[in-house]
Structure 1
Amino acid sequence: MLKSAGFGKNANFSGGIGEEQFASFQRQALADEMVKAGGLGLADAFYQSMMEASYDK
């Protein structure tokens, strides 16, 4: 998800090609910390949206 959002794509730490090669590690570390913090709350939002859509029919 973070890669698709473009996170780490242009960090500009003046690391050149090495920076690009290690961007996946940075994204993974951030994702791990997000999970430890309880996530983004998207599951509840998706569930509520699906429940509302099923009641509309």
Structure 2
Amino acid sequence: MSLQQGKDIDQTAALREVAQELEASFLAEMLKQAGFGESRDSFGGGVGEEQFASLLRAEHARALVERGGIGLAQSLYTALVARGDHLGGGNQ
């Protein structure tokens, strides 16, 4: 494997990771808007539960992405690759 091929593989992996992070952020926000992780009126965890609810949503969102997500990461990855090609970033 040449140095250029190794660099392309690293860039591809980095773009996929960025796309997955963006999808996870999007899903976490959607879970928040749907009310996932909100404290209950009775038998709730109080302030502690409220403070850690965002972490729970973020982990659930990452788990969703690891299991295929909603396809947003692939669309983002494709757009990032196309943008890189357009800007002279080479084959990523």
Question: Same fold per TM (> 0.5)?
Answer: yes
Which TM-score bucket, shorter chain as reference? 0.5 to 0.7
Larger Rg: 2
Correspondence 1:23 to 2:44: no
Distance in 2, Cα, partners of 1:26 & 1:17: 14
- After TM superposition, the score normalised by the length of structure 2 is 0.39
Superposed CA RMSD: 2.0
Judging by fraction of residues, say which structure has more helix.
2
What displacement does 1:13 show?
Answer: 6.5
Q: 1:37: which partner in 2?
A: 67
Contact 1:13/1:19 (<8 A) preserved: no
Aligned length: 42
Amino acid paired to 2:50: E
Structure 2: unaligned runs, 5 residues or longer: 1-29, 73-92
Structure 1: unaligned runs, 5 residues or longer: 44-57
